[in-house]
Structure 1
Amino acid sequence: MLHCHGPLLTVDVGDETVSESDIESLHRRYLGGRGLATRLAHERVPFDADPLGPENRVYFTTGPMQASKMSFTGRMNCTAVSPLTDGLLSSNAGGFVSRNVTAAGYGAVEITGESDELVVVHVRDDGVTFQSVPDLEDATVPETLSALETEHDVTADQTAVVGPAGEREVRFASIMTSEERAFGRGGLGAVLGSKNVKAITFDGDAEPDVEVPATQNEIHREAATDDHIMKEQGTVAVMDLANEMEGLPAYYFSERQFEGVEGINGAAVADKKYEKGTCSACAFACKLPTKDEEAGVETEGPEFEVAMAFGSNSGVDDIVEVMKSNKLCDEYGLDAISTGNTVAAYLAANDEFGNAELIHDLVERIAYREGVGDDLAEGIDRVHDDLGVDNWTVKGMDFAAHEGRVLHGQGLSYAVANRGADHMYATFYSVEYPLVAEEDALEPGGTLGKAERLVHRENLMALNDSGVVCKFSRDYMSNERYEQLFDADFEDLLEIGARTVTLERHFNNQRGFDAADDDLPYELPDFEQALEEYYDARGWEDGVVPDDAVPYAGDA
């Protein structure tokens, strides 16, 4: 089986020490990426760890596909206990940093402890150095990158950076890389900020010798030559379809259609796109570099989720105003989905939908925890009562754009996902719009009979996150191609995904999560019965992993 290689590098920023551990057996068992990081965290992070305390650990992990030159492999994983959900959470970012992490020669990088001063950690194949950076306190992401490039000849593609939002422990702060790509959902930027780490840089010439099968060339060629709408409009291409299905959240989830959709849809974004954008080694090039010269704004995106959060959900029908919001989030190091939804909650409470000037002001206030921004920085789950609005979250995480009240299997997925109301955990929406072949599609209505398929998709997405392979490769991957790329039986590969999901759930169970947390703020048909079908398919009892089902056997 194709898997990662290299030791675990542990960096304690409290006493500025480093150590290495042999984790070869875990590489074989979990491939790399999310699976490896979840297994390490399950063993090494106390179950009762404070997400913003020194005992929490942040894991950066790549997968064996980062040794390839294949499209859809310019991504990597980051894992820690989330300050937003209070559970173990993995986030996935694109860009170009993954291959620089691989070049440093480590199978995983673990950050623990808490520094007494603001630092940058430089990880190289010949060692680790610590740099005190008091002058970068509250620096934005671009300001930080400029300083690193000037003083250390480090590019944005070699970095993982937090902005002022991470330093001030905003519960949905991002870790930014390649300037505008984010380890977004769940607030991992706040975890790094709590450790007083402003940035980590990666470099070296110690890539492991991993031979990826020739199937990579076929996939790369197809990605390069295919005429796919995402190459022009990114994920926002689905917005018109969602709106037609009455499945586009609007006005803080109070409506499911937006009359101003033409101002923020795929065509509106494509009109502002000025060049191709991509991740490392990827010929699919679905990213969205956009600019508006009259407004003086240049950014990357927005993607569908952000166009919903800062657009329809905030009552804004002007793509340029959404672009401005997106740009501010990238500069301050904020998850744009959670920031937009939290701002939308404030707009709902104060009857201010569509007030773009107020929205931009609130983004800045959240990043620096100023005034009302200090409350909003806690997230919807913690502030909704004070605002007097409904709590549109699951496990503390606010909803993505794909509407579970219309796509009922996606609604079930939101409820059971260990990350909370996140669309990428199973990408179940893809089979219900549908965005897949007709023979693989399901009717959007109803929850019964979908549990087995949901389990399969969760396991498959965990496999992708361990590989690491972009989830937008779905039109180019098949069971046979997974087997060829990873040199393993497909069912064995899915079992890696299953172990990963189970370990996440077990960790969260130890923190008090159970079936009561697998809930929604709205009703779905036969929801309780569908929930039991899901637990039965997983072998869990009332949302809890039995102790004898914890998948440690064979790890050593």
Structure 2
Amino acid sequence: MLHAEGPMLTIDVGDRSATAVDIDDVLENTIGGRATATALAHDRIPYDADPFGPENRAYLSTGPMQMSRMSFTGRMNMTGLSPLTDGLVSTNAGGYLSRNFTGAGLSVLELTGQSDELLAIHVTDGPNGPEVEFEEVPELEGAETSRVSGYMDTHHDLGPENCITIGPAGENLVRFASVMTFDSRAFGRGGIGAVLGSKNVKCVTFEGDSSPEIEIPDPPAMDVHREAATSDDLMRRQGTTGNTEFINDNFSIPTRYFDDYEFESIANIGGNAVEEKKYKKGACSQCAYACKLPTKDEERGVETEGPEFETVYSFGTCQGVDDIVDVMISNELCDELGMDTISAGVTVAAYLKSEDAFGNADLAHETLEKIAHREGIGDVLAEGTARAHEELGVNNYTVKGMEFAAHDGRTLHGQGLSYAVANRGADHMYGGMLGLEYSGEVDPEGTLGKAETLVGLENHNVVRDSGVVCAFGGDYLTDERLEQLLDADYEDLQALGARTIERERHFNNKRGKDVEDDDLPYDIPDLADAVQEYYEARGWNEDGTVPDASVDSVAPAPADD
């Protein structure tokens, strides 16, 4: 099986030490990316860890595809114990970081401990392996993302493509804070930015020329790249916003904090409105698909990247805001402050509902600033919807503490099931029944009989996130091509996905999570029975737990054990 190569670099920011550890055995059994990081997190983070404590660990990991020139490979994975969901979470981001990360000569970065001072950490390749420099940066306290990048450029001749960074939201332990790279690309869901903030790590940079040589099969690598370059997909022009009106008109987009199912002004904030503000092409490293959305509005002086569909939902329909420029401003604020646009937008929508202020974009923008700095009502909202909803007097529209993505489980029942059982909560990228239900390949009505399909999708997405390849390459990176690229039978890849899902679930079980957490805040048909079908398909117990004997330990023990 093709896999990432290179050591894991463990950095303890408390005692400012760095140790490179050989993890070849782990990589050989997990490919890289999410599967590798999950195995490490499962075995090395204590089950009773505090997400904000020094014992929590954050993992940044790459996969073998980052050694290729194939499109859809400009991404990386981050994994840790989430302060939002209190379970393991993995999230990935695009941009240009991955090639600089592998150039520093490692496959995984592990951050642990807790620093007394705000730090920037610089990782470079040395003659004997990765080298680390610790820099105290009190002048960056409270700095927004672009100011950190500017500092690194001025003082170290490094660009945003060399950095992972947190904004003031991460420093202030906002539970949905993101880790940013390339200024506008976010390791978004689950609050890993707050984990770095709890460790007092403002920025980590990577630089070097020590990428391992991994032979990526060609074909199909260049076939995928060529097809991406010549595609006429709508997504290349409008990103994920291309189907906004179709989804709104034929299914639903949660509107005005889930009070309504469709937004009457969708044309003002949909794909065409976004494309009108797009002023150039944007891409990730090595990708010819170029689906990113650099946008600007000169009249109001805003320039950003996006918004993508989920942000159009969270800061548009969910808040009752019908001006694309207002949504662009929200998007840019989240990038600069370092917050997940989905959780931030839905949480602000809950606040707008409590204030009877739907459509008030100025209040939304002011509230984002307050959240990032934990000022006034922002201190309550920084805890996320699940922890704030009672004080606001609104319903708790989350699963496992994570705010919902746009694809509405009240009309896409298979997607609703996916939200309910996903180890990381109401995230659309975890299982993703939505595509099959939108296309009509699977009837969106009902939940029974969908568990086997969902299991296959979840397992597949682990492989995608371990490769690491972009979800938007799905039409090009077929199952057959994944077999060729990763030099493995698809059944073996599915088994790897299943083991990773089990490790996530087992860790969460040890933190007290079970069938009671696999639920929704609204009713859909036969959900409890469908959840049991899912457990049966996974070989789990009826209470939603994984038998201990089915989860093996593969990672090296921490040095302090």
Q: Is the TM value for this pair above 0.5?
A: yes
1:552 to partner: Cα distance: 3.9
The CA distance in 1 between the partners of 2:555 and 2:534, in whole Å, is 26
Specify the alignment match of 2:145 in structure 1. 141
Cα 1:240–1:328, aligned 2, differ >3 Å: closer, same or farther?
same
Q: Is residue 324 of structure 1 aligned with residue 325 of structure 2?
A: no
Query: How does 1:347-496 map onto structure 2 within 5 Å?
Result: 347-434=352-439, 441-496=441-496
The CA distance in 1 between the partners of 2:487 and 2:325, in whole Å, is 46
The CA distance in 2 between the partners of 1:366 and 1:297, in whole Å, is 21
Specify the alignment match of 1:173 in structure 2. 177
Contact 1:505-1:544 within 8 A present in 2 as well: yes
1:479 to partner: Cα distance: 2.0
Query: What letter is aligned with 2:190?
Result: G
Equivalent of 1:296 in 283, 290, 301: 301
Please give the per-residue CA displacement for 1:176-227, whole angstroms capped at 9, x wherever unaligned: 0000000001110000000000000011111011000101000000011010
**When the two structures are superposed, what TM-score results if normalisation uses the length of structure 1?**
0.98
Query: What letter is aligned with 1:511?
Result: R
Query: How does 1:97-116 map onto structure 2 within 5 Å?
Result: 97-116=97-116
Query: How does 1:36-55 map onto structure 2 within 5 Å?
Result: 36-55=36-55
Please give the per-residue CA displacement for 1:220-251, whole angstroms capped at 9, x wherever unaligned: 00011010000111111121111112411100
Specify the alignment match of 1:545 in structure 2. 546
Query: How does 1:34-113 map onto structure 2 within 5 Å?
Result: 34-113=34-113
Specify the alignment match of 1:524 in structure 2. 524
Equivalent of 1:281 in 280, 286, 295: 286
Contact 1:29-1:555 within 8 A present in 2 as well: no
Structure 2: gaps (5+ residues): none
1:125 to partner: Cα distance: 1.1
Equivalent of 1:192 in 190, 196, 202: 196
Specify the alignment match of 1:12 in structure 2. 12
Please give the per-residue CA displacement for 1:295-325, whole angstroms capped at 9, x wherever unaligned: 1000000011110010010000000000000
**When the two structures are superposed, what TM-score results if normalisation uses the length of structure 2?**
0.97
Cα 1:401–1:172, aligned 2, differ >3 Å: closer, same or farther?
same
The CA distance in 1 between the partners of 2:154 and 2:553, in whole Å, is 46
Cα 1:350–1:100, aligned 2, differ >3 Å: closer, same or farther?
same
Cα 1:459–1:551, aligned 2, differ >3 Å: closer, same or farther?
farther
Query: What letter is aligned with 1:155?
Result: G
1:555 to partner: Cα distance: 9.7
The CA distance in 1 between the partners of 2:35 and 2:246, in whole Å, is 34
Please give the per-residue CA displacement for 1:393-451, whole angstroms capped at 9, x wherever unaligned: 000000000011111100000000011000000121111102xxx7xx21111111110
Q: Is residue 212 of structure 1 aligned with residue 249 of structure 2?
A: no
The CA distance in 2 between the partners of 1:172 and 1:340, in whole Å, is 11
1:107 to partner: Cα distance: 1.7
Query: What letter is aligned with 2:353?
Result: A
Moved more, 100-109 or 389-398: 100-109
1:384 to partner: Cα distance: 0.1
1:529 to partner: Cα distance: 1.1
1:548 to partner: Cα distance: 1.3
Contact 2:39-2:554 within 8 A present in 1 as well: no
The CA distance in 2 between the partners of 1:120 and 1:110, in whole Å, is 15
Query: What letter is aligned with 1:432?
Result: E
Q: Is residue 152 of structure 1 aligned with residue 156 of structure 2?
A: yes
The CA distance in 2 between the partners of 1:498 and 1:464, in whole Å, is 13
Please give the per-residue CA displacement for 1:440-499, whole angstroms capped at 9, x wherever unaligned: x21111111110000000000011001101111111122211111011111111111111
1:553 to partner: Cα distance: 7.4
Contact 2:43-2:553 within 8 A present in 1 as well: no
| Count of residue pairs brought into register by the alignment | 551
Contact 1:245-1:406 within 8 A present in 2 as well: no
The CA distance in 2 between the partners of 1:445 and 1:108, in whole Å, is 42
Identity across matched positions, percent:
59
1:554 to partner: Cα distance: 11
The CA distance in 2 between the partners of 1:449 and 1:133, in whole Å, is 55
1:8 to partner: Cα distance: 1.0
Query: What letter is aligned with 1:531?
Result: V
The CA distance in 1 between the partners of 2:346 and 2:506, in whole Å, is 29
Contact 1:502-1:551 within 8 A present in 2 as well: no
Structure 1: gaps (5+ residues): none
CA RMSD of aligned residues (A): 1.1
Specify the alignment match of 1:232 in structure 2. 237
1:507 to partner: Cα distance: 0.5
The CA distance in 1 between the partners of 2:407 and 2:528, in whole Å, is 21
Contact 1:380-1:392 within 8 A present in 2 as well: yes
Query: What letter is aligned with 1:11?
Result: I
Ranges of 4+ aligned residues in structure 1 off by more than 2 Å: 551-556
The CA distance in 2 between the partners of 1:239 and 1:227, in whole Å, is 18
Query: What letter is aligned with 1:187?
Result: G
Contact 1:25-1:555 within 8 A present in 2 as well: no
The CA distance in 1 between the partners of 2:511 and 2:356, in whole Å, is 37
1:67 to partner: Cα distance: 0.3
Secondary structure in 2 matching 1:199: strand
Contact 2:278-2:296 within 8 A present in 1 as well: yes
The CA distance in 2 between the partners of 1:205 and 1:550, in whole Å, is 37
Secondary structure in 2 matching 1:80: strand
Query: What letter is aligned with 2:360?
Result: N
Query: What letter is aligned with 2:181?
Result: T
